[in-house]
Structure 1
Amino acid sequence: MNHITAASLIDLNTPPNRNDPKILAGALTDDAVTIEVGDNSYNFPHLAHVDDEVNAIAALSSTATPLLDTDFNRARIERDANRHTILHLATHAKFLVGQPEDSFILFNNKERWTLRDFKDGLLNLTHVDLVVLSACETGVDNTFGNGEEILGFGYLMQNAGARAAISSLWAVDDGGTQILMGEFYKALLLGNLSKTAALQQAQLALININENSDRGGLELAESIGLDPNNLSHPYYWAPFILIGNGL
């Protein structure tokens, strides 16, 4: 699904040059972590599959740079993001209605970006074609404010200069997401498809996957009563949306 926001109306027709893609792909490999924000406490589980996700992306392009463990930090991303055409962040995030300081994207050692950082002009992403936040609930929250929360992450990335963003509408399982993202980047980089078509191709790949294939390790899906090996369920492929220029 491709959503258009006011921030992306200035350039919807020009396709990017993918002959020389440069990918900065980072992942939060910390153990389970608790983040205190104001009066709230958020418990985030260990993301067991994100290192495989990032390494698989890096294997598709010789110009990809993987950032794992302590390399996945604020300073490195802020320095190098605009030197790349794709920024992929496999990490936890929380976007909430309320004060900008209460919404954040998480990095190694509990470092984080807040919504306030973005509103204050934290990043210049004018050379970036696509930002992917492969995490939980980055598109919407359980409550609604002025509508910005619905497309929150993508709107902020476009304001920073990126042409498009991909985020998720509900809590996703990093095991299933690893497979979806692998299919997405294969279609985007090897199949030379548009961003919209590549996301659709990845979703179709999960819909048509063998229901009895033993993928294993999909803990979140199993905890809510889903068959952890049935990746054709919409839970795995439906939450991710593309915001902005879909070419």
Structure 2
Amino acid sequence: MKKSKMAYSLVKLRLAPVFLSFLSCLTLPSNSTIALDKTLLAQQALSYQQKIKSLLRQNQPTSALEILKQSRNLALVDLLAQSFPTRNVNAPTTETIKQVAKNQNATLVQYSLLYQNVNVAGKRQTQTSDLVIWVIQPTGEISLRQVDLKAWQSKNKTTLADVINHLQQSHSQGIEGHKGIIKISDTTQNSSSLARKQLHELLIQPISDILPTKPEARVIFIPQDKLFLVPFATLQDENNQYLIEKYIISTAPSIQALDLLAKRHNSNTKSTQDVLIVGNPTMPTKPLNPGESFSKLSPLPGAEKEAKNIASIYNTQALIGDAATETTVVKRMSNARIIHLATSGFLGNSIENPGLLAFAPSSQDDGWLTAAEVSKLKLKAELVILSSCDSALGKITGDGVIGLSRAFLVAGANSVIASYGKISDESTTTLMTEFHSNLTKNPDKAVALHQAMLVTMKKYPNPQDWGMFTLVGLP
């Protein structure tokens, strides 16, 4: 009877994907006031959670992984699918997931947070209960580890959210330079080091025996929720070794997005060799929206030095000052293979406006390039580098962070390098100069960033100086 009830539960829960798939097919007018009921969506999310838990209890980790991929609100996948004639994208099967790992010659690490409803002071709240980690080897082997988050949080006398929030706040502390931090207090360094070790204990230690043993093997992390804010390269083990010292690291919004990016890249027959480098543009003098408060933006001499250094590597001229207008930059981006933007970046305050970049204004534009405008571009770029503060951040959804990095992926870029927090002029110039120098010798972007981080680490040992950037998308 118990087995029969379990089977019935699974059949009933399989209806949840049908409902969400139907919702994803709806096309609403841009000015529509129709909103999906949050309670209804929460119930559907809970259905998926229950389904995953049921499969895990039945020792069906691969089936649970397939359900996880269906459960994500894959808006990015839908946007990437528009690059293909049919625009139809099916949920990935186990074989598809294995093939992605094989094609990338990488170990994929997929995280999933499970939740439960609890009563706190008479009020019903949703709290994280477990962390599930799937490890997919390039050989096709799939392994699973499940961590009791409640026990981990009790042991560390903190919550996962608080640890990540603390690390994020430490990325914003210090003395302000032209682009960000130039000095960090010892207290901040010590507390952020503890957070990195706590996150290593939770996210890496449970799978350490099934991660690659080969030096500098490739690992692609696919986070969920707040885990998208974790700078994996900077996580430290008990011997104070950073994760970047062991692996070539990149991240992806989802396994399905990684697969679609690779297919789009392989189907794109158009090639270009142009390299666009922008640094220290003349800043906009008016707010994005009339009536908003506006503080004058300072020039970025460090960004100018960075841009000129990189331009010399490619034997080209960087767009600097008045020459770096929004109109000129956008026009040049359409035919660029590599785009490097060293300017001021800002987080937006809504899903509709998740971020923007500052360029020189002109008679044709206001100088503000928004994420919404970026997503409508048609790019051929192999890589976009957003050398500005917080460019990897934004609103978190089921398939990643809605922000500037996602906008460039949607626009056609294969990969984006963006930052988790504030960045300093000197260390960023060193890191980016090393990165581009490496890239001219080896087109593997993840390897180039890996090597650049190791070199920068020797000169600037604080992880906030070398570990604030992540590669999102194709390695």
TM-score category of the 2 structures, normalised to the smaller one: 0.7 to 0.9
**2:325 corresponds to which of 73, 95, 101:** 73
Which residue, 135, 140, 163 being the options, matches 2:414?
Answer: 163
In the TM superposition, residue 68 of structure 1 has moved relative to its aligned partner by 0.7
Q: Which residue of 1 aligns with 2:466?
A: 237
Aligned to 1:10: 260
CA displacement at 1:70 relative to structure 2: 1.2
Asked if 1:206 corresponds to 2:460, the answer is no
Distance 1:102 1:167 in 2: 14
Identity of aligned residues (%): 22
Q: Pairwise CA RMSD of aligned residues?
A: 3.0
* Aligned CA distance change for structure 1 residues 205 and 193 (closer, same or farther; 3 Å): farther
For residues 72-127 of structure 1, give each alpha carbon's deviation from its aligned partner in whole angstroms, at most 9, with x where no partner exists.
111111212122210110001112341534631110246111123234x1x111x2
Please point out which of 367, 378, 386 is paired with 1:111: 367
Instruction: Give deviations 1:193-228, integer Å, cap 9, x for gaps.
Output: 51001111111011112xxxxxxxxxxxxxxxxxxx
Structure 1 unaligned regions, length at least 5: 210-230
- Give CA deviations for 1:49-88 in whole Å, capped at 9, x if unaligned: 11211111111123x3411111111111121212221011
C-alpha displacement at 1:234, in angstroms? 0.6
Aligned: 1:124 with 2:378 = yes
CA contact (8 A) 1:183 1:202 kept: yes
What SS is found at the alignment partner of 1:105? strand
1:36 to partner: Cα distance: 6.0
1:194 to 444, 448, 454: 444
Partners of 2:386 and 2:396 in 1: how far apart? 22
Partner of 2:7: none
Q: Of 430, 454, 458, which residue of structure 2 is paired with 1:179?
A: 430
Report the Cα distance in structure 2 between the residues aligned to 1:100 and 1:79, rounded to whole angstroms. Answer: 23
Q: Distance in 2 between matches of 1:97 and 1:114?
A: 12
Residue 134 of structure 1 is matched in structure 2 by 387
What is the DSSP-based 3-state SS (H/G/I as helix, E as strand, rest coil) of the residue aligned with 2:452?
helix
The CA distance in 2 between the partners of 1:43 and 1:3, in whole Å, is: 35
How far apart are the structure 2 equivalents of 1:207 and 1:102? Answer: 31
- Distance in 2 (CA, whole Å) between partners of 1:147 and 1:172 is 27
Larger radius of gyration: 2
Structure 2: unaligned runs, 5 residues or longer: 1-248
Amino acid at match of 2:406: Y
Q: Give secondary structure in 2 for the equivalent of 1:128.
A: coil
Supply the distance in 2 between the matched residues of 1:33 and 1:182 (Cα, whole angstroms).
30
Structure with more contact order per residue of length (Cα contacts < 8 Å, sep ≥ 6): 1
Separation of aligned partners in 2, 1:3 and 1:85: 21
Q: How does 1:32-111 map to 2 (within 5 A)?
A: 35=287, 37=289, 39-41=292-294, 44-62=297-315, 64-98=316-350, 100-101=352-353, 103-109=355-361, 111=367
Give 1:140 deviation, angstroms.
1.2
Aligned with 1:46: secondary structure? Answer: coil
CA distance in 1 between partners of 2:283 and 2:261 (Å): 40
3-state SS in 1 of match to 2:472: strand
Corresponding letter in the other structure for 1:182: T
- Look up the SS of the partner of 1:159 in the other structure: helix
Structure 2 match to 1:228: none
**Cα distance, 1:12–1:75 mapped onto 2, change above 3 Å:** same
Contact 2:355-2:403 within 8 A present in 1 as well: no
User: Distance between the aligned counterparts of 1:152 and 1:232, measured in 2?
Assistant: 29
TM, length-normalised to structure 2: 0.41
CA–CA separation in structure 2 for the residues paired with 1:94 and 1:147: 22
**8 Å CA contact retained: 2:378, 2:412:** yes
Deviations 1:31-63 (A, max 9, x none): 79784656454564431211211111111123x
Q: Are residues 45 and 70 of structure 1, via their aligned partners in 2, closer, same or farther at CA, if it must alter by over 3 Å?
A: closer
CA distance in 2, matches of 1:128, 1:177: 22
AA aligned to 1:49 is: G
Deviation at 1:8, TM superposition (A): 3.9
Note the C-alpha offset of 1:9.
Answer: 2.3
Letter in 2 for 1:61: Y
